[in-house]
Amino acid sequence: MKFPLAAFALLPLQVSAQPPRPAASLSQVTNPTIVHKVAPDYTPEARAAGLQGTVSLYVEVGADGEPSNIEVLHGLGLGLDAKAVEAVRRWEFRPGARGSEPAKIGRSVDVDFRLDDSAPWRIRLAAYHVDRNSKKRSEVLAKPILQHYSSPDAAACPAPGADVIVDLAVGADGAPGKIGVKPLEFAGRDATVKAVEGWRFQPATADGKARAARGQVEFECGEPLPPVPRDIYRVGNGVTPPVPVYSPEPQYTEEARRARVQGEVTLSLIIDRGGHSQDIVVAKPLGLGLDQEAVENVKQWRFTPGMKDGRPVAVQAAISVNFRLL
């Protein structure tokens, strides 16, 4: 299997992520946990559009359990990203620890926005990427933000809990194009493309100037699946490891590249029965934005799930993301 590899012209670098492995090596890290959640508020525009889905955040939980440095990794737009951050500021956490000492530890947090469980289309994850200009020493980049949303027709949803992937380009004018839908045999392809064609974005920018971007939106459609069992397994004793089937390339942050920071970010995570990454925790940090980049990247990975007795199970694992300047 081929894993992510990237190189840049100005400060050459290599970025790679290792396949998941058992998490026994992370026994010295105690993960911060959520004790109490506060439901986020909806914005009027998101409610009117029927936008439902999940905002993925990065948050650092201090040794006192207080959340800080909250950043949007994968947003929904229409004002919901800010509402997610506002809600998490009021969440209560039990702090994590390194060894026997409480410590500030970064982790992923998912904030769900639901209007009606019977509404079929929900955005599980929306990831956008802006390419850097290799001829410039540095650029300040901003991702596109969804400003107008229309949901695919309800009749186009194929089955309960089905995943539908939409690849698209977002032009410098904020209009989507080059829309592709997976799986290829999806009967609701035309209805999905028609809906996405009506979306409009605040375009991506580079140093304040509009720039084209690319994105991938993962829909979950149909009635929600039954609650997932909370049993978390470790690889071995009849439990097979998850296997990556989609592992997009992580990126060096501009701040880390200028500082020529190199090293490894190690993540502890749960790979659920559907092959998605959950509860990602930074067990070994690097700083300068690379921890957030590693979490943002691995959140997009997809796996064939771990198996036990012929059925998929949630598995505790670890992934290391290596950042190296060539």
Q: Is 144 exposed, middle or buried (0-12, 13-18, 19+ CB in 10 A)?
A: buried
Enter the pTM of the model.
0.90
Q: Are 147 and 200 in contact (CB under 8 A)?
A: yes
Q: Show the tokens assigned to 49.
A: 């559009």
Is residue 187 very low, low, confident or very high in pLDDT (cuts 50, 70, 90)? confident
Query: Of 111, 183, 192, which is closest to residue 151 (Cα–Cα)?
Result: 192
Q: Which residues pair with 94 in a beta bridge?
A: 33
Q: Show the tokens assigned to 101.
A: 């000492």
Count of CB atoms situated within 10 Å of the CB of 258: 14
Instruction: Look at residue 3 in the predicted model and tell me its pLDDT.
Output: 33
What domains can you pick out in the chain, each with its CATH number? 13-115+226-325 (3.30.2420.10), 121-221 (3.30.2420)
Instruction: Look at residue 11 in the predicted model and tell me its pLDDT.
Output: 34
Arithmetic mean of pLDDT over the chain: 89
Q: For the stretch 94-133, what's the b/e string if a residue is b when 16 or more beta carbons lie within 10 angstroms of its beta carbon? A: ebbbeeeebbbbbbbbbbebeeeeeebbbbbbbbbbbebe
pLDDT of residue 317 exceeding 60: yes
Distance CA 79, CA 249 (A): 28
CA 1 to mean position of chain CA atoms: 22
Query: Of 298, 268, 290, 317, which is closest to residue 30 (Cα–Cα)?
Result: 268
pLDDT in tens, 9-53: 223 345 566 777 766 556 688 999 999 999 999 999 999 999 999
What is the average per-residue pLDDT within 296-316?
Answer: 95
Distance CA 56, CA 54 (A): 6
Query: Of 152, 145, 109, which is closest to residue 128 (Cα–Cα)?
Result: 145
